[in-house]
Each structure stands twice: as C-alpha cells, then as structure tokens.
Amino acid sequence: MSKRVLTTESGAPVADNQNSATAGVGGPLLLQDQHLLEKLARFNRERIPERVVHARGSGAYGYFEVTDDVTGFTKANFLGEVGKKTETFIRFSTVADSLGGADAVRDPRGFALKFYTEEGNYDLVGNNTPVFFIKDPIKFPDFIHSQKRDPFTGKQEADNVWDFWAHAPEATHQITWLMGDRGIPASYRHMNGYGSHTYQWTNEAGEAFFVKYHFKTNQGIRSLSADQAAELVGKDANSHQTDLLQAIERGVNPSWTLYVQVMPAAEAAEYRFNPFDLTKVWPHSDYPLQRVGRLVLDRNPENVFAEVEQAAFSPNNFVPGIGPSPDKMLQGRLFAYADAHRYRLGVNHTLLPVNAPKATTAQNYGRDGAMALRNGSRHDKNYEPNSYQGPAQTDAALSAPLAIHGWTGTHEAPQHTKDDDFFQAGELYRLMSEDEKKRLVANIAGGLSQVSREDVIEKNLAHFAAADADYGKRVAEAVNALRED
C-alpha cells in the first residue's frame, strides 16, 4: 500500500519535511521556504484562549433514554416518549484552575450536557453540587478573581479565597458541600450531576412548572480524602481524564439516572425558600424526585481539542417545552456563556461539528464573520421576512410567559419565610455523621488557618456559627489549634 502524499495547506506536495531550505550548505534560511513558514506560523496559532472558568475538562459522547412518562410536565420532543433515545455530548471540568491544572483537587465539577434533539440542541449546564457560592451574577467576576491565581504571587491565595467568602455569607451552604466528603470526587464517573439552577417546563396545555435536575451516578458515589487526592495528583495529574477514557475504551460505559423535582409554577411565590436562589435546595420532602431517564456515555472523542476544548455550551440553548426561570444567576449565564464562546471560538462556533445540531438542521439568516462555512447560495436571502420561501418564525413560544411587576432598578431578591444564608448550611451539617463532621472541620480549618487577617477569620467563623453553634465552635477550635502550632 503506497503512502499518502504529505502536502502544504494549499494542497501542494512537500518534497522534504526534515530539512529547511538554506542559502547553500550550512547557510541561513530562505524566506521563500513556504512549507517552513506555514508550519511555524500555524504552530504559533495552535492555542486558543482557554476558558476563564472550567478550563480543565474531559468529554464523551453517549445517549439519553427516556424511561418514564413526563409529558404531563413538558412538551419537549426528546422527552415525549418512553424508550426514545437522543445523542448527547458531555463535558466534565474543574472550575478554578487553568487548563494545565490537576484533576483530583478540591473544587466543584462542571457537568455540562448537550442533547442533540430533533428540535435543536438543548444545553444543560450544571455542576456536581446542587447549590453555588453566590446568587447574583454581578458578583461572579469578583468571586472567580478571588479563587484564581493572585496577580502578584501567581498562585491561589487563602487570603483572597476566604476574604471573599467572609463578605458573602450566602456561600456558607456551598462551602459546607465543598469542604465535606464529596469535595474531591474519585472520578467523573463516581459523582452526581445537577442542573443546579431552576428551569421552567411547559406542557402541551401551556401549564408551567419549575424543575430542578438531578443526575444520580449509577456507579455509586466515591470521593477522595485530601491525603488520597494529594497522592493521586503526584502519580497522575490527569487522573479523571485517564479514568473516563479507559473506562469507555474497555466498554465499561458510565451512566446516570435523571430525576427531576417538579414545582407547579403557582406554588413558587409562597414557597418557604426562594425557589430561584442558587444557594438553596428544595428539600426532597417538599418536592420528591421523579425519575425521567438514563444517561449513558459510550464513545470517546477522537480529538480532544476539536471536540472537548471547542465544545461550546450555552444555557440559552432551549427547545420547545423548556425555558428559563427568574433565577438571577441563570439569567446572567444566558448571556455570559454564549458571549464567552464568541470570544474564544468566533461567531461561527455553532458550525463546528461538536456544536452543530445533529438531529436537525440550523436554518437562519446568520451570515459572514470569521470562518463562515454556511452562507447560502445566490437564491438565499439574508433578511426576513422575504418572498423567497426563507425560514420563518413559528409563532409558538418555547415556554410559558413569566409574569412580572414592579419598578426597574437594582433590588435584593424577595425574601421567603425561611430565606437566610445559614439555615440550609446548618441542615446539611446536622445530616452528617460524626466522622463526616470531623473531616469537614479539618478541611475548612486547613485553609482558613492560613489567612493572615484576624478579622477575615472572625467573619467566616461567625458564618459557620450562624449555621450551627456546634459547627462554628468546632471550626474555631480547629483554626486556633493550627494557628498556635
């Protein structure tokens, strides 16, 4: 079998790929060596800006299969029939570190899922925790700056991390999650995934429901202690990537069961917690889990850059029957995610294979821009409405309208009867076993004891005490013991 011919990017054959052209034997290089210049110029441009958050990630393809009838809650086509399967792509990630960071670190994990449905792509962008540190997107850049590398030292600083949390009492719930036993998953396969935000489902009759997504791992929860994680990072910084890749290659296909909590829209206003507050959960005793289907991962990407690094997830990619809620963090992400991809990948990133619809065809009037691949023919108009049978609107809303009232301006979120920053953090602490509490306290104290300012330490201790008196007392004692050593 003859070898394929190596060519330049313009298709011309390459005569020598081992030696650059020179002015005589041993002489200086020639500017006319087009192959050399093309290789070096392309090499200089191989990297694109990494994600500001969720930079380090892994991905896989699979499918979602409906196992239970949920047509009473949503008209979404891909959820419309028991047994129906939809192709999916998922990207797991850490949040705070850079692209070269380690996998087995104490950090929330991204759980971003793309459904290639017959009505367009639906992106569900969540985490492995059901809550988050903040509830208003105006604080998000500041939060991330406090968790990323310090501009002067070039590394994450305990002073920055805990100083921000000292001024964000609503973070106490998520801190309790993060510093607890599930803060470092053993692998991506052994953690749950959550939509985290509240979303809206609408059925065929136009009835609206608010929902929360829960993907429960069928492999079982497995996590690492701080010591186990440190040892694993030393052996394989890419441990989660290695585990996911090898499991699927062996045919051990990881899976999750999807459940939802469903709240009739009319109940939201009087619920004891603000149902749109990302720092809160809905207790299962109030809204039990209802099974929907099964997510299975069965195929690895062929090229990590093309299919994982260039994968773009946008929470504003909805399909009929699914829409947003008044969740302020979700509302902010509806803009921020798509805008980040337009910056990183360009305005035509939705034409890349991993991002393009697979079960349908995108038809719109978007034209031009860098790397435009689909500009239409001489017969296609680039305006609407037109008289040439171009794509037209359906007049059918994707989701039910949300009622609004009041004055424009900056407002704090409306208070519900049980709304405070500490109650649910205390509830989570009181659910823990004695051994779990000890590990939680040790994990918090290990970081908080490194803070240089006493006032920052005291503010954080006050948050834990407000969640639970015993919780605060134990953390204070552990911090004091470490600072005295």
- With contact defined as beta carbons under 8 Å apart, do 131 and 278 qualify? yes
What's the sign of the alpha-carbon dihedral 146, 152, 153, 159? Answer: negative
- With contact defined as beta carbons under 8 Å apart, do 109 and 188 qualify? yes
d(CA 39, CA 442): 52
Residue 262 has φ and ψ, to the nearest 5°, of -120, 125
- In 203-333, DSSP assigns E strands to 208-217, 255-264, 290-299, 322-323
d(CA 67, CA 216): 14
DSSP codes, 93-128: EESSS-TT--SSSSS-EEEEEEEEEBTEEEEEEEES
Neighbouring-strand partners of residue 297: 62
User: What residue has token string 């939201």?
Assistant: 268
Please tell me what DSSP assigns to residue 208: E
Strands 57-66 and 290-299: antiparallel
| Catalytic (active site) residue 54 | yes
Active-site residue, from 35, 77, 121, 127: 127
Residue 282 has φ and ψ, to the nearest 5°, of -100, 115
Interacting residues of 415 by C-beta distance below 8 A, sequence separation 6+: 274
Active-site residue, from 54, 173, 190, 197: 54
Upstream peptide bond of 315 is cis (omega within 30 degrees of 0): no
Residue 31 has φ and ψ, to the nearest 5°, of -65, -20
3-state class (DSSP) for residue 5: coil
d(CA 127, CA 95): 9
d(CA 137, CA 77): 31
Residue 70 has φ and ψ, to the nearest 5°, of -125, 20
Strands 109-117 and 193-194: unpaired
Structure tokens at 192: 């749950």
- For residue 370, give the nearest of 354, 351, 391, 357 by alpha carbon: 351
User: What residue has token string 């600083």?
Assistant: 157
Instruction: Report the catalytic residues.
Output: 54, 127
